[in-house]
Structure 1
Amino acid sequence: MSDNQSLQHIAHLRREYTRGGLRRHDLPAQPLALFENWLRQTCEAQLPDPTAMCVATVDAHGQPFQRIVLLKHYDEQGLVFYTNLGSRKAAQLENNPRISALFPWHFLERQVMVLGEVEKLSTLEVIKYFHSRPRDSQIGAWVSQQSSRISARGVLESKFMELKQKFRQGEVPLPSFWGGFRIKISAMEFWQGGEHRLHDRFLYQRSGDGWTIDRLAP
Protein backbone atom coordinates (compact mmCIF):
# COMPACT_ATOMS: atom_id res chain seq x y z
CA MET A 1 0.00 0.00 0.00
CA SER A 2 1.41 3.41 -0.97
CA ASP A 3 1.77 6.29 1.49
CA ASN A 4 -1.10 8.11 -0.22
CA GLN A 5 -3.34 5.06 0.08
CA SER A 6 -2.45 4.78 3.77
CA LEU A 7 -3.36 8.41 4.35
CA GLN A 8 -6.70 7.94 2.64
CA HIS A 9 -7.65 5.40 5.31
CA ILE A 10 -7.61 7.93 8.17
CA ALA A 11 -11.34 8.53 7.57
CA HIS A 12 -11.95 4.97 8.74
CA LEU A 13 -9.86 5.15 11.90
CA ARG A 14 -12.11 4.88 14.94
CA ARG A 15 -12.51 3.04 18.21
CA GLU A 16 -15.19 2.57 20.80
CA TYR A 17 -15.03 4.49 24.07
CA THR A 18 -15.69 1.97 26.80
CA ARG A 19 -14.04 3.23 29.98
CA GLY A 20 -17.26 4.40 31.57
CA GLY A 21 -19.87 7.11 31.63
CA LEU A 22 -20.60 10.29 33.52
CA ARG A 23 -24.02 10.78 35.10
CA ARG A 24 -25.72 13.86 36.50
CA HIS A 25 -26.00 12.41 40.01
CA ASP A 26 -22.20 11.92 40.07
CA LEU A 27 -21.46 15.60 39.57
CA PRO A 28 -20.31 17.84 42.45
CA ALA A 29 -21.79 21.32 42.77
CA GLN A 30 -18.42 22.93 41.98
CA PRO A 31 -16.54 22.14 38.73
CA LEU A 32 -13.09 22.34 40.34
CA ALA A 33 -13.98 19.38 42.56
CA LEU A 34 -14.58 17.21 39.49
CA PHE A 35 -11.53 18.69 37.74
CA GLU A 36 -9.33 17.88 40.73
CA ASN A 37 -10.63 14.30 40.83
CA TRP A 38 -10.01 13.78 37.11
CA LEU A 39 -6.55 15.39 37.31
CA ARG A 40 -5.60 13.15 40.21
CA GLN A 41 -6.72 10.06 38.26
CA THR A 42 -4.73 11.27 35.24
CA CYS A 43 -1.61 11.63 37.40
CA GLU A 44 -2.17 8.22 38.99
CA ALA A 45 -2.45 6.68 35.51
CA GLN A 46 1.04 8.08 34.87
CA LEU A 47 0.04 9.65 31.58
CA PRO A 48 2.66 11.93 29.96
CA ASP A 49 2.25 15.62 30.79
CA PRO A 50 -1.02 15.39 32.75
CA THR A 51 -0.98 19.16 33.36
CA ALA A 52 -0.55 20.07 29.67
CA MET A 53 -3.35 22.24 28.35
CA CYS A 54 -3.93 23.71 24.92
CA VAL A 55 -4.73 27.41 25.27
CA ALA A 56 -6.41 29.41 22.52
CA THR A 57 -6.15 33.16 22.08
CA VAL A 58 -7.29 35.52 19.32
CA ASP A 59 -5.33 38.29 17.60
CA ALA A 60 -6.59 41.74 16.61
CA HIS A 61 -7.86 40.38 13.28
CA GLY A 62 -9.90 37.59 14.88
CA GLN A 63 -7.38 34.87 13.94
CA PRO A 64 -7.27 32.13 16.62
CA PHE A 65 -3.94 30.71 17.82
CA GLN A 66 -3.36 27.59 19.94
CA ARG A 67 -0.39 26.24 21.85
CA ILE A 68 0.39 23.89 24.74
CA VAL A 69 1.31 25.32 28.15
CA LEU A 70 1.56 23.67 31.55
CA LEU A 71 -0.88 24.25 34.38
CA LYS A 72 1.15 25.23 37.45
CA HIS A 73 -1.51 25.97 40.05
CA TYR A 74 -5.27 26.01 40.45
CA ASP A 75 -7.74 27.04 43.11
CA GLU A 76 -11.09 28.80 43.35
CA GLN A 77 -9.47 31.91 41.90
CA GLY A 78 -8.61 30.13 38.64
CA LEU A 79 -5.96 28.23 36.65
CA VAL A 80 -2.38 29.53 36.53
CA PHE A 81 0.29 29.30 33.83
CA TYR A 82 3.54 31.17 33.17
CA THR A 83 5.04 32.60 29.99
CA ASN A 84 7.22 35.24 28.38
CA LEU A 85 5.27 38.51 28.51
CA GLY A 86 6.68 39.47 25.12
CA SER A 87 5.27 36.34 23.48
CA ARG A 88 2.51 36.29 20.89
CA LYS A 89 -0.02 34.85 23.33
CA ALA A 90 0.76 37.50 25.95
CA ALA A 91 0.34 40.27 23.38
CA GLN A 92 -2.96 38.81 22.25
CA LEU A 93 -4.22 38.47 25.82
CA GLU A 94 -3.26 42.09 26.48
CA ASN A 95 -5.58 43.10 23.63
CA ASN A 96 -8.29 40.50 24.34
CA PRO A 97 -8.25 38.76 27.74
CA ARG A 98 -10.71 36.05 26.69
CA ILE A 99 -9.16 32.60 26.60
CA SER A 100 -10.06 28.94 26.15
CA ALA A 101 -8.07 25.99 27.51
CA LEU A 102 -8.42 22.28 26.80
CA PHE A 103 -7.04 19.31 28.73
CA PRO A 104 -6.94 16.40 26.22
CA TRP A 105 -6.80 13.31 28.41
CA HIS A 106 -7.39 10.94 25.50
CA PHE A 107 -6.12 7.77 27.18
CA LEU A 108 -8.81 8.11 29.83
CA GLU A 109 -11.33 9.08 27.14
CA ARG A 110 -11.81 12.49 28.73
CA GLN A 111 -11.53 16.14 27.86
CA VAL A 112 -12.01 19.25 29.99
CA MET A 113 -12.58 22.63 28.34
CA VAL A 114 -12.26 25.90 30.25
CA LEU A 115 -13.58 29.31 29.22
CA GLY A 116 -12.74 32.56 30.94
CA GLU A 117 -10.68 35.72 31.03
CA VAL A 118 -7.12 36.18 32.25
CA GLU A 119 -5.53 38.49 34.76
CA LYS A 120 -1.79 38.98 35.22
CA LEU A 121 -0.21 37.48 38.30
CA SER A 122 1.38 39.74 40.88
CA THR A 123 5.16 40.13 40.88
CA LEU A 124 5.29 38.34 44.24
CA GLU A 125 3.48 35.30 42.82
CA VAL A 126 5.79 35.22 39.80
CA ILE A 127 9.00 35.56 41.84
CA LYS A 128 7.93 32.76 44.17
CA TYR A 129 7.33 30.36 41.30
CA PHE A 130 10.34 31.49 39.23
CA HIS A 131 12.78 30.65 42.01
CA SER A 132 11.18 27.23 42.53
CA ARG A 133 12.18 26.24 38.97
CA PRO A 134 15.41 24.35 38.17
CA ARG A 135 18.29 26.77 37.75
CA ASP A 136 18.77 25.94 34.05
CA SER A 137 15.08 26.64 33.44
CA GLN A 138 15.49 30.02 35.10
CA ILE A 139 18.39 30.80 32.78
CA GLY A 140 16.40 29.49 29.82
CA ALA A 141 13.73 32.10 30.54
CA TRP A 142 16.36 34.80 29.96
CA VAL A 143 17.52 33.28 26.67
CA SER A 144 14.38 33.22 24.55
CA GLN A 145 12.55 36.25 23.20
CA GLN A 146 9.57 33.99 22.68
CA SER A 147 7.85 34.07 19.25
CA SER A 148 10.63 36.23 17.72
CA ARG A 149 12.42 35.01 14.58
CA ILE A 150 15.90 33.49 14.99
CA SER A 151 18.41 32.34 12.38
CA ALA A 152 19.40 29.02 13.97
CA ARG A 153 19.20 26.96 17.15
CA GLY A 154 22.85 27.75 17.77
CA VAL A 155 21.86 31.32 18.61
CA LEU A 156 19.85 30.04 21.58
CA GLU A 157 22.54 27.61 22.70
CA SER A 158 25.27 30.26 22.58
CA LYS A 159 23.13 32.71 24.53
CA PHE A 160 22.33 30.04 27.11
CA MET A 161 26.02 29.29 27.73
CA GLU A 162 26.79 33.01 27.92
CA LEU A 163 24.11 33.60 30.54
CA LYS A 164 24.98 30.45 32.44
CA GLN A 165 28.46 31.89 32.87
CA LYS A 166 27.07 35.31 33.79
CA PHE A 167 24.76 33.85 36.46
CA ARG A 168 27.21 31.18 37.68
CA GLN A 169 27.07 32.58 41.20
CA GLY A 170 24.18 33.80 43.28
CA GLU A 171 20.50 33.88 42.52
CA VAL A 172 19.21 34.12 38.94
CA PRO A 173 17.16 37.35 38.82
CA LEU A 174 13.61 37.37 37.52
CA PRO A 175 13.48 38.74 33.94
CA SER A 176 11.24 41.79 33.67
CA PHE A 177 9.62 40.22 30.61
CA TRP A 178 8.63 36.95 32.31
CA GLY A 179 5.36 36.46 34.20
CA GLY A 180 2.13 34.56 34.44
CA PHE A 181 -1.62 34.61 34.00
CA ARG A 182 -4.58 33.37 35.98
CA ILE A 183 -7.59 32.13 34.00
CA LYS A 184 -10.69 33.32 35.85
CA ILE A 185 -13.16 30.59 35.00
CA SER A 186 -16.58 31.42 33.58
CA ALA A 187 -17.41 27.93 32.29
CA MET A 188 -16.03 24.38 32.35
CA GLU A 189 -17.17 21.51 30.15
CA PHE A 190 -16.44 17.88 31.01
CA TRP A 191 -16.47 15.25 28.24
CA GLN A 192 -16.44 11.52 28.90
CA GLY A 193 -16.33 9.14 25.94
CA GLY A 194 -19.25 6.71 25.56
CA GLU A 195 -20.11 3.69 23.45
CA HIS A 196 -21.66 4.21 20.01
CA ARG A 197 -20.52 7.86 20.13
CA LEU A 198 -23.09 8.57 22.85
CA HIS A 199 -20.61 10.63 24.84
CA ASP A 200 -21.43 12.34 28.12
CA ARG A 201 -20.95 16.12 28.19
CA PHE A 202 -21.74 18.43 31.10
CA LEU A 203 -21.33 22.19 31.07
CA TYR A 204 -20.82 24.20 34.25
CA GLN A 205 -21.52 27.93 33.86
CA ARG A 206 -20.97 30.51 36.55
CA SER A 207 -24.21 31.99 37.88
CA GLY A 208 -23.88 34.49 40.71
CA ASP A 209 -22.04 32.78 43.53
CA GLY A 210 -22.79 29.31 42.19
CA TRP A 211 -22.90 27.23 39.02
CA THR A 212 -25.55 25.96 36.67
CA ILE A 213 -25.07 22.48 35.18
CA ASP A 214 -26.43 21.36 31.83
CA ARG A 215 -26.09 18.11 29.95
CA LEU A 216 -25.12 18.66 26.31
CA ALA A 217 -25.81 16.37 23.37
CA PRO A 218 -22.60 14.61 22.22
Structure 2
Amino acid sequence: MTTDPITELASRLPGVPGRDGYFPLMSLATIDLDGGPDVRTVLLSEITAQGLTFHTDVNSRKVMQVRADPSVALLLTIPEQAQQIVVRGTAASLDGPEVHAAYRNRSRYLQLLAWMNTAEISALPEDERHRRWAEFSEAHPDGTLEPPTEWAGFLVRPHRITFWQADTRGPSHRIEYTRSGPDWSGAHHPG
Protein backbone atom coordinates (compact mmCIF):
# COMPACT_ATOMS: atom_id res chain seq x y z
CA MET A 1 0.00 0.00 0.00
CA THR A 2 1.07 3.55 -0.63
CA THR A 3 1.58 6.39 1.84
CA ASP A 4 0.42 8.91 -0.79
CA PRO A 5 -2.90 7.92 -2.39
CA ILE A 6 -3.16 11.22 -4.32
CA THR A 7 0.03 10.33 -6.21
CA GLU A 8 -1.30 6.78 -6.62
CA LEU A 9 -4.52 8.19 -8.07
CA ALA A 10 -2.58 10.29 -10.60
CA SER A 11 -0.45 7.30 -11.61
CA ARG A 12 -3.52 5.20 -12.47
CA LEU A 13 -4.87 7.68 -15.03
CA PRO A 14 -3.87 7.14 -18.67
CA GLY A 15 -2.54 10.72 -18.92
CA VAL A 16 -1.72 13.82 -16.89
CA PRO A 17 -4.83 15.97 -16.34
CA GLY A 18 -4.39 19.40 -17.89
CA ARG A 19 -1.65 18.32 -20.32
CA ASP A 20 -1.98 17.81 -24.05
CA GLY A 21 -5.74 18.41 -23.92
CA TYR A 22 -6.34 15.54 -21.48
CA PHE A 23 -9.14 16.41 -19.08
CA PRO A 24 -10.74 13.20 -17.81
CA LEU A 25 -14.41 13.20 -16.93
CA MET A 26 -15.41 12.65 -13.34
CA SER A 27 -18.74 12.60 -11.59
CA LEU A 28 -19.15 15.28 -8.93
CA ALA A 29 -21.69 14.55 -6.20
CA THR A 30 -22.94 17.36 -3.98
CA ILE A 31 -25.69 17.88 -1.42
CA ASP A 32 -28.58 19.98 -2.70
CA LEU A 33 -30.22 22.71 -0.64
CA ASP A 34 -32.92 20.25 0.50
CA GLY A 35 -30.31 17.80 1.81
CA GLY A 36 -30.59 15.33 -1.08
CA PRO A 37 -27.81 14.09 -3.35
CA ASP A 38 -27.09 15.67 -6.74
CA VAL A 39 -24.56 14.53 -9.33
CA ARG A 40 -23.17 15.69 -12.65
CA THR A 41 -20.07 15.23 -14.82
CA VAL A 42 -17.20 17.74 -14.76
CA LEU A 43 -13.69 17.81 -16.18
CA LEU A 44 -10.76 17.06 -13.90
CA SER A 45 -8.50 20.08 -14.41
CA GLU A 46 -5.47 19.06 -12.39
CA ILE A 47 -4.18 16.85 -9.61
CA THR A 48 -1.90 18.52 -7.06
CA ALA A 49 -0.42 17.34 -3.77
CA GLN A 50 -3.43 19.01 -2.09
CA GLY A 51 -6.13 17.32 -4.18
CA LEU A 52 -8.16 17.45 -7.39
CA THR A 53 -9.40 20.58 -9.16
CA PHE A 54 -12.36 21.35 -11.39
CA HIS A 55 -13.70 24.56 -12.94
CA THR A 56 -17.22 25.73 -13.70
CA ASP A 57 -19.62 28.67 -13.90
CA VAL A 58 -20.32 30.42 -10.58
CA ASN A 59 -24.01 30.63 -11.48
CA SER A 60 -24.34 26.85 -11.71
CA ARG A 61 -26.35 24.74 -9.32
CA LYS A 62 -23.21 22.84 -8.30
CA VAL A 63 -21.45 26.02 -7.14
CA MET A 64 -24.48 27.07 -5.11
CA GLN A 65 -24.52 23.62 -3.49
CA VAL A 66 -20.76 23.53 -2.81
CA ARG A 67 -20.89 26.95 -1.21
CA ALA A 68 -23.75 25.82 1.05
CA ASP A 69 -22.10 22.48 1.92
CA PRO A 70 -18.53 21.86 0.70
CA SER A 71 -18.72 18.08 1.31
CA VAL A 72 -18.39 16.40 -2.09
CA ALA A 73 -17.60 13.07 -3.70
CA LEU A 74 -15.84 12.46 -7.01
CA LEU A 75 -15.94 9.32 -9.15
CA LEU A 76 -13.36 8.63 -11.85
CA THR A 77 -13.82 5.53 -13.98
CA ILE A 78 -11.03 3.99 -16.01
CA PRO A 79 -12.93 1.43 -18.08
CA GLU A 80 -9.93 0.23 -20.09
CA GLN A 81 -8.33 -0.86 -16.80
CA ALA A 82 -11.61 -1.99 -15.15
CA GLN A 83 -11.03 0.47 -12.30
CA GLN A 84 -12.89 3.18 -10.49
CA ILE A 85 -11.62 5.70 -7.97
CA VAL A 86 -13.92 7.37 -5.45
CA VAL A 87 -12.77 10.50 -3.64
CA ARG A 88 -14.61 12.03 -0.69
CA GLY A 89 -13.48 15.42 0.47
CA THR A 90 -14.09 19.08 1.01
CA ALA A 91 -14.23 21.61 -1.84
CA ALA A 92 -12.65 25.06 -1.51
CA SER A 93 -12.54 27.96 -3.97
CA LEU A 94 -9.31 28.53 -5.89
CA ASP A 95 -7.65 31.94 -6.26
CA GLY A 96 -7.32 34.08 -9.39
CA PRO A 97 -3.91 32.94 -10.71
CA GLU A 98 -4.88 29.26 -10.56
CA VAL A 99 -8.21 29.96 -12.25
CA HIS A 100 -6.54 32.01 -15.02
CA ALA A 101 -3.93 29.31 -15.66
CA ALA A 102 -6.60 26.60 -15.92
CA TYR A 103 -8.67 28.75 -18.30
CA ARG A 104 -5.70 29.31 -20.62
CA ASN A 105 -5.16 25.54 -20.64
CA ARG A 106 -8.72 24.85 -21.87
CA SER A 107 -9.61 24.17 -25.49
CA ARG A 108 -10.87 27.06 -27.62
CA TYR A 109 -14.38 25.59 -27.47
CA LEU A 110 -14.39 25.49 -23.66
CA GLN A 111 -12.99 29.02 -23.42
CA LEU A 112 -15.82 30.29 -25.62
CA LEU A 113 -18.35 28.21 -23.71
CA ALA A 114 -17.29 29.86 -20.44
CA TRP A 115 -18.42 33.18 -21.94
CA MET A 116 -21.42 32.05 -23.97
CA ASN A 117 -23.10 29.52 -21.67
CA THR A 118 -25.62 31.93 -20.14
CA ALA A 119 -29.31 31.66 -19.28
CA GLU A 120 -30.07 34.38 -21.83
CA ILE A 121 -28.34 32.59 -24.69
CA SER A 122 -29.68 29.15 -23.73
CA ALA A 123 -33.25 30.49 -24.11
CA LEU A 124 -32.66 31.55 -27.74
CA PRO A 125 -33.58 29.44 -30.77
CA GLU A 126 -30.78 27.18 -32.00
CA ASP A 127 -29.96 29.22 -35.11
CA GLU A 128 -29.66 32.41 -33.03
CA ARG A 129 -27.41 30.65 -30.50
CA HIS A 130 -25.17 29.50 -33.34
CA ARG A 131 -25.08 32.99 -34.89
CA ARG A 132 -24.10 34.63 -31.60
CA TRP A 133 -21.46 31.97 -30.97
CA ALA A 134 -19.91 32.58 -34.39
CA GLU A 135 -19.96 36.36 -33.90
CA PHE A 136 -18.36 36.12 -30.46
CA SER A 137 -15.72 33.70 -31.72
CA GLU A 138 -14.85 35.97 -34.65
CA ALA A 139 -14.64 39.04 -32.39
CA HIS A 140 -12.27 37.22 -30.00
CA PRO A 141 -9.44 35.45 -31.85
CA ASP A 142 -7.79 32.43 -30.29
CA GLY A 143 -5.55 33.36 -27.36
CA THR A 144 -7.20 36.72 -26.63
CA LEU A 145 -9.83 35.74 -24.07
CA GLU A 146 -9.40 35.94 -20.31
CA PRO A 147 -11.76 33.98 -18.08
CA PRO A 148 -15.09 35.65 -17.39
CA THR A 149 -15.74 36.71 -13.81
CA GLU A 150 -18.34 33.92 -13.66
CA TRP A 151 -15.70 31.22 -14.17
CA ALA A 152 -14.50 29.63 -10.93
CA GLY A 153 -12.23 26.85 -9.78
CA PHE A 154 -12.44 24.48 -6.84
CA LEU A 155 -9.93 22.25 -5.10
CA VAL A 156 -11.28 19.07 -3.55
CA ARG A 157 -9.10 18.14 -0.58
CA PRO A 158 -9.62 14.40 -0.09
CA HIS A 159 -10.15 12.77 3.27
CA ARG A 160 -10.97 9.37 1.78
CA ILE A 161 -9.84 7.76 -1.48
CA THR A 162 -11.08 4.33 -2.55
CA PHE A 163 -9.52 2.35 -5.41
CA TRP A 164 -11.72 -0.40 -6.84
CA GLN A 165 -10.29 -2.97 -9.25
CA ALA A 166 -12.21 -5.64 -11.17
CA ASP A 167 -10.57 -9.03 -11.54
CA THR A 168 -11.76 -11.49 -14.20
CA ARG A 169 -9.85 -14.32 -12.48
CA GLY A 170 -11.27 -13.73 -8.99
CA PRO A 171 -13.14 -11.32 -6.73
CA SER A 172 -12.89 -7.60 -7.22
CA HIS A 173 -10.81 -5.68 -4.72
CA ARG A 174 -10.89 -2.33 -2.92
CA ILE A 175 -8.18 -0.42 -1.13
CA GLU A 176 -9.51 2.46 0.92
CA TYR A 177 -7.31 5.23 2.29
CA THR A 178 -8.44 7.58 5.05
CA ARG A 179 -6.67 10.77 6.05
CA SER A 180 -6.10 11.66 9.68
CA GLY A 181 -4.28 14.99 9.86
CA PRO A 182 -1.41 14.88 7.36
CA ASP A 183 -1.17 11.07 7.35
CA TRP A 184 -3.04 8.44 5.35
CA SER A 185 -3.90 4.92 6.49
CA GLY A 186 -5.11 2.18 4.17
CA ALA A 187 -7.18 -0.97 4.43
CA HIS A 188 -8.14 -3.78 2.03
CA HIS A 189 -11.85 -4.53 1.53
CA PRO A 190 -13.90 -6.92 -0.60
CA GLY A 191 -15.07 -5.44 -3.87
TM-score range, shorter chain: 0.7 to 0.9
> What is the TM-score with the length of structure 1 in the denominator?
0.76
Q: SS in structure 1 opposite 2:146?
A: coil
What is the distance in 2 between the residues matched to 1:166 and 1:151?
A: 20
TM-score (norm 2): 0.85
Where structure 2 has 5 or more consecutive residues not aligned to the other structure, the ranges are 17-21
- Which residue of the partner structure matches residue 100 of structure 1? 73
Deviation at 1:131, TM superposition (A): 2.3
Q: CA deviation at 1:157?
A: 1.7
Aligned residue for 1:28? 2
Deviation at 1:196, TM superposition (A): 7.0
Matched-pair identity in %: 26
User: Does the CA-based 8 Å contact 1:144-1:156 persist in structure 2?
Assistant: no
Which among 103, 106, 112 is matched to residue 133 of structure 1?
106
The RMSD of aligned alpha carbons is: 2.4
Using the TM superposition, give the Cα deviation of residue 214 of structure 1 relative to its aligned residue in structure 2, in angstroms: 1.4
How many positions carry a matched residue from both structures? Answer: 185
Alignment of 1:149-160 (within 5 A): 150-160=123-133
**Structure 1 residue 184 displacement after superposition:** 0.7
Question: 2:19 maps to what in 1?
Answer: none
Inter-CA distance 209–133: structure 2 relative to 1 (3 Å threshold):
closer
How many angstroms apart in 2 are the aligned matches of 1:74 and 1:169?
26
Residue pair 1:50, 1:105 contacting (<8 A) in 2 also: no
User: Alignment partner of 1:61: what SS?
Assistant: coil
**Cα separation, 2, equivalents of 1:205 and 1:170:** 42
Using the alignment, how far apart are the partners of 2:77 and 2:109 within structure 1? 29
Could you tell me which of 48, 53, 68 is aligned with 1:75? 48
Give yes or no for contact 1:101–1:114 (8 Å, CA) kept in 2.
yes
Which structure: greater strand fraction?
Answer: 2
Q: Is the 8 A contact 2:122 2:129 kept in 1?
A: no
Q: Which amino acid aligns with 1:180?
A: G
Does residue 1:184 correspond to 2:157, yes or no?
yes
Unaligned runs of at least 5 residues, structure 1: 1-26
AA in 2 matched with 1:33: T
Report the AA paired with residue 117 of structure 2.
Answer: S
Residues 87, 145 of structure 1: 8 Å contact kept:
no
Residues 54, 136 of structure 1: CA spacing in aligned structure 2 closer, same or farther, 3 A cutoff? closer
User: Which residue in the other structure is 1:212 paired with?
Assistant: 185
Task: Select between 179-188 and 61-70 the one with higher mean Cα deviation.
Answer: 61-70
Larger Rg: 1
Deviations 1:12-67 (A, max 9, x none): xxxxxxxxxxxxxxx2111023212211xx349xxxx7721111112111222211
**What's the offset of the Cα at 1:174?**
2.0
2:29 is aligned to: 56
Q: Residues 76-124 of structure 1: CA distance to partner in whole angstroms, max 9, x if unpaired?
A: 1110111111111111111111110011112211110000011111011
Distance 2:44 2:101 in 1: 16
- Structure 1 or 2: more helix by fraction: 1
2:39 to 62, 66, 87: 66
Q: AA paired with 1:173?
A: E
